[in-house]
Structure 1
Amino acid sequence: MDFQAERFKLLAVRSVPSKRASINDPLGDNQNPPDNIFHGCGLSFLLYNGVESGRCEPNEFRCNNGRCVQKMWVCDMEDDCGDRSDEQYCGVKQPGESCSPQEFKCQAREQCIPRSYHCDGQNDCQDGSDEVGCVPPTVVEPPVRQLEVCIGETAVLNCRATGVPVPHISWRLNWGPVCDPPRCTQTSINGFGTLTISGVTERDQGAYSCEAINVKGRVLATPDAIMTVKDCRPVPQTRCHEAGTSTKDRERCICKTYASGPDCGQCGEYSFYLAPSNPQGCIRCFCMGITRNCHSSNYFRTQERVVFSYDDQGVAVSDIRERNVDQTQADLSSVRGYLSIEPGDRQSQTLYWKMPSRLGGNKLTSYGGKLKFFFQFFGHGRRVDDPLVVLKGNEITLIHQGPRNFQADRPNEILIDMYETSWNREDGQEVTREHFLMTLAGLDSFLIRATHVQGQTKSSRDNDIQSLNISV
């Protein structure tokens, strides 16, 4: 190494370590170890050429060759990096100026010395002005205490410090480095430091420390600036298809079992007929094993009604096993659009209305429709727990329990969706669509409960009449 080209000769004359050994560092965490220690002429010299590191400290400058040097050594007319990258983009002497931006101007004789010699403990100016008034940094304008920023926005933090030489301002995040350029940029001009963070992310939130440093020492601004990052983006208004949606969360539609698509507005594979009343959204295709591909027909529904006008319309009274009740035990009559029954005194079993045969047979087209009927009963007593409606077909028995809050002495309306989810199997198995369709394909028996409280069998004629008006 040609020490004449470096500062060895100058160091020997000055008989003190270079600027790198003269920094007063009360924090003690960023002093770079020397690359080499030289002894000569009875003197010791520290020569720093920078330290290679995976990532530089917050108050260090990263050289093009990967080395890290103190930020305040940048543009001080010394090649601290070894590749002169710390002396690039340092500005030039302006017309009329006696010294360049990298130099300190002495008070007398228009003398210029390297900026790194200012306040280094040795008189380099002939008038000694480079060692006058030297003080460590003092933060006079700390950054804001709280800062709330939305994701994607730009955050700006400022900090000002005084001192001689003019302090350099650097920044830390949670005592580590801030993000790398170009997203994070730092400037320090005449003791005023600015940190600009573009495109803020959640990783940028935390405690930001302003650090002021010069050759006489360093100081941290107190308190830190606490930056909170929020997601301020508007919640997307997802438009969900009502018929196919079970629930909607913040950003997406939750489809019913057989509905699909981003908005749940179409039927999935092997299903058809999207309808709001269907708890599964669409109907799963069941075609007796012939095919799995189904589509909606152009059929329309009509009501199949049973209207009592002084005629029982073929309705009989039975128990749940379809054993007909003797007429002497139950007086059946039709009047004013209602079919009425008066249980006899000896009648203790639960009675059912047995619907006429014309409501049986192939009732596949009733799938997805509604079963609606009215009934009225008189009497008070313990509720009957037997099924409200019973369907039998193809050796399958399905039951519907119905509500338990019937009102005595007034009409009660019952409305049942004709889907498998409205029914249970008598044997306890789950009712599938296949079970339900098989039952409807060959409906042999259709029963509606006529006894609702046990007290009906013990009441007088005035308050024990059971009546029915049905529409299927």
Structure 2
Amino acid sequence: MPQSSWAREPQLLSLRVWSLCSATREAAIPCNCSSVGSLDFQCNINTGQCNCRPKFSGAKCTECNQGQWNYPHCNPCDCFLPGTDDSTCDLETKKCSCIDKTGQCTCKVNVEGVRCDRCRPSKFGLEAKNPLGCSSCYCFGATTQCSEAKGLIHTWVSKELLSHVMTILPLVDEALQHTTTRGIIFQHPEIVANMDLVRQDLHLEPFYWKLPEQFEGKKLMAYGGKLKYTIYFEAREETGFSTYNPQVIIRGGTPSHVRIIIRHMAAPLIGQLTRHEIEMTEKKWKYYGDDPRISRTVTREDFLDVLYDIHYILIKATYGNIMRQSR
């Protein structure tokens, strides 16, 4: 079997030609390319890199390519992408690396299995967008074991579904102590508030739109969904005191565990219709009343407690200074 070699290029002056050739022969190192993984027994004269067959890699072609294991057979890892740690995967080829001797993929924290295709005990709902892979069971402390519900579908609660039962939304103050429908009219497809008339009943800004009862009550199935709305306002000045208040407020929970949670977002611009899409998970939600300097993120358990029984949802209507109109 022919053997090839490569050489480390000696650092000699070019005028010492014969010494260069002599030194090169003395520094020759065998390529040692794999008889299984290499195309031939040749290697790069400067780096020693062998020419590998399609399924193989490594300097000597003694390793399987990413996404394969069990050298020299190089079987596909076949990792389940939603449950596998993203850092071990090539998102373009959709292939993930695994341990060569066992084929074990690198699972997300709450996932197990050789292919990372099932949730750990007391976890459920394996999905790609969850950085942990699966979520912890939520059973009000009664048990830690659960399974994903089957045969369920998502239903959108929208203004189209509500159009036959309501035409306007009331405006309230942040403490929900006062409410009004004065100056509020329905102009299809929007609900418009004339702030000069609204201020005859409400005096302490900011004011909030209060969503109807269809958005209240048992909403655990809304977890992972989205709250979508559009907002538009006109004011004399773009910024004002009320600009910095939370844009969404939700109160809910069990009788012994009531929480108020809030969501801050960039304020809309004057005269521009702004669309918001808020993911209904605990991410980016804060506790109402927290010092802004510490501003704790809501825990998953508390967020689910709120969804268990929503008392109200408020969406901010007032922005800027000397507000004229909101819709």
Instruction: Give the TM-score band, short-chain normalised.
Output: 0.5 to 0.7
Q: 1:417 Cα shift?
A: 1.9
Matches within 5 A, 1:142-161: 143=25, 145=27, 147=29, 149=31, 152=34
**1:60-79 mapped onto 2 (5 Å cutoff):** none
| Aligned position for 1:248 | 87
Do the aligned partners of residues 413 and 147 (structure 1) sit closer, same or farther apart at CA in structure 2, a change above 3 Å counting?
farther
Which residue is 1:401 aligned to? 264
Q: Distance in 2 between matches of 1:141 and 1:344?
A: 93
Distance in 2 of aligned mates of 1:147 and 1:272: 55
1:413 to 275, 280, 284: 275
CA distance in 1, matches of 2:270, 2:164: 24
- Matching of residues 293-304 of structure 1 within 5 Å: 293-298=145-150, 299-304=152-157
Preserved CA contact (<8 Å) 2:106 2:116: yes
Contact 2:82 2:129 (C-alpha < 8 Å) held by counterparts: yes
Q: Which residue of 1 aligns with 2:143?
A: 291
The higher relative CO (CA closer than 8 Å, separation ≥ 6) is in: 2
Residue by residue over 1:171-217, the C-alpha shift from the partner in whole angstroms, topping out at 9 and shown as x without a partner, is xxxxxxxxxxxxxxxxxxxxxxxxxxxxxxxxxxxxxxxxxxxxxxx
Question: TM-score, normalised to structure 2's length?
Answer: 0.64
CA contact (8 A) 1:151 1:231 kept: yes
Aligned residue-pair number: 250
* From 167, 170, 175, the counterpart of 1:316: 170
The percent of aligned pairs where both chains have the same amino acid is 24
Once the two structures are TM-superposed, the CA of residue 348 in structure 1 deviates from its matched residue by: 6.3
Q: Which amino acid aligns with 2:325?
A: I
DSSP 3-state at the match of 1:143: helix
C-alpha spacing 1:280/1:333, structure 2 compared with 1 (3 Å): farther
Matched letter for residue 143 of structure 1 = R
1:447 Cα deviation (Å)?
0.9
Q: 1:322 to 1:355 in 2, by over 3 A?
A: same
Rate the CA distance shift 1:294–1:231 in 2: closer, same or farther, 3 A: farther
Q: Name stretches of at least 5 consecutive residues in structure 1 with no aligned partner.
A: 1-138, 155-224, 459-463, 468-472
- Residue 371 (structure 1) aligned with residue 238 (structure 2): no
The one-letter amino acid paired with 1:416 is I
Q: Residue deviations 1:340-377, cap 9 Å, x none?
A: 11222866611111112232111112122222222222
Deviation string 1:72-129 (CA, Å, 9 cap, x unpaired) is xxxxxxxxxxxxxxxxxxxxxxxxxxxxxxxxxxxxxxxxxxxxxxxxxxxxxxxxxx
Q: Which amino acid aligns with 1:412?
A: T
Tell me: CA distance 1:266–1:445, structure 2 relative to 1, closer, same or farther (3 Å). same
Map 1:14-413; keep pairs closer than 5 Å.
143=25, 145=27, 147=29, 149=31, 152=34, 230=59, 232=61, 233-237=63-67, 239-249=78-88, 251-252=97-98, 255-298=107-150, 299-307=152-160, 309=163, 312-313=166-167, 315-326=169-180, 331-344=183-196, 349-379=205-235, 380-382=237-239, 384-394=243-253, 395-402=258-265, 404=266, 406-413=268-275
Q: Which amino acid aligns with 1:306?
A: K
Range with bigger deviation, 437-446 or 346-355: 346-355
CA RMSD of aligned residues (A): 3.5
SS class of match (2:283): helix
- Give the conservation status (yes or no) of the 8 Å contact 2:168–2:191: no
Partner letter of residue 318 of structure 1? V
The 2-side partners of 1:302 and 1:351 are apart by: 29
If you compute each CA radius of gyration, which structure gives the higher value, 1 or 2? 1
- Contact 2:170–2:181 under 8 Å retained in 1: no
**Paired residues of 2:167 and 2:186 also in contact (CA < 8 A):** no
Partner amino acid, structure 1, of 2:65:
V
TM-score (norm 1): 0.46
* 1:420 alignment partner, SS class: coil
In 1: Cα distance, 2:286 partner to 2:32 partner? 54
